[in-house]
Amino acid sequence: MTDLSTRPAAASGTFALGGDLPVHRLGFGAMQITGPGVWGEPADRDEALRVLRRAVELGVTFIDTADSYGPYVSEDLIAEALHPYPDDLVIATKAGLTRPGPGEWLSLGRPEYLRQCLEMSLRRLKVERIDLYQLHRIDAKVPLEEQLGALRDMQNEGKIRHIGLSEVSVEELEESRKIVDIVSVQNLYNLTFRKSQPLLDHCEREGIGFIPWFPLATGKLAEPGGILAEAAERHNATPAQLALAWLLHRSPVMLPIPGTSKVAHLDDNLAAANISLSPEEIDQLTALG
């Protein structure tokens, strides 16, 4: 039996990506372990490695990264910290963005580039197959059939287990599913920003994993005296922990991946999995958005 006090991520429950790849729902996003502007090496490389190892110790079985984080730095750190990987650890990565400099992101979805990205991610992560490979952005300059067709070909070659998308609409998701099976989407979604609510509802109906990026945003909702702050005080928790707990209660297909470069912050984030919200609290927090 899993000890939820020492492996709190397990308390978040389990979701099976593609129906056959189970992960604990509260995962770890590995963007922030790079340098400023998601560029270059982290200020404290040893701490970044400790964060990754600690995440696994605390029950995280789903780590999300991308070749563009660094670029390449995040994948390299994951391999250095965790390879050979635990049997239950799923590492998801992405391709389709290039990085001219700090804070800059450009779409590039040409099939030959996506293939090159996959081969290099396999090498950096030291694996023969990527469990979840995500198209970081749909490139409007390249036919969707060509972009997803490249991923489908590499899946047929055994180099990709499952395919996901990032920042898409319901219509784009359904168009993509005519080309290849899609098991997850990753869109901006949090307590204060819910433009992707129709997509979340659609994913829940279809059994598709929904990975909310920037999950910790609370903004003015965290100000003293507000509903979020009062709820956090009742639970002896932080507003950020309540925001994560709300996400986990929001939908069974929700897979939050809060990221950090500090072990202490990681411990706080994952403790959110043990927070149980009442139906009234969920309704109050939901109404805030």
Alpha carbons 218 and 46: distance in angstroms, whole number:
29
Across the chain, the runs of DSSP E, i.e. the strands, are 14-17, 21-24, 28-29, 62-64, 90-95, 97-98, 106-107, 130-135, 160-166, 184-188, 209-213
Which one is catalytic: 69, 72, 113, 133? 69
Residue 69 known to be catalytic: yes
CB neighbourhood size of 46 (10 A): 8
**Ramachandran region of residue 191, left (φ > 0), alpha (ψ -120 to 50) or beta?**
alpha
> How many residues are given for the chain?
289
Query: Residue 49: what are its φ and ψ, rounded to 5°?
Result: -65, -40
Three-state SS for 26-55 is: CCEECCCCCCCCCECCCCCHHHHHHHHHHH
Handedness of CA 245, 137, 111, 202 (dihedral sign): positive
Q: Find, among 25, 28, 88, the residue nearest to 252 by Cα.
A: 25
Contact criterion met (CB below 8 Å) for 186 and 211: yes
- Active-site residues, by number, are 69
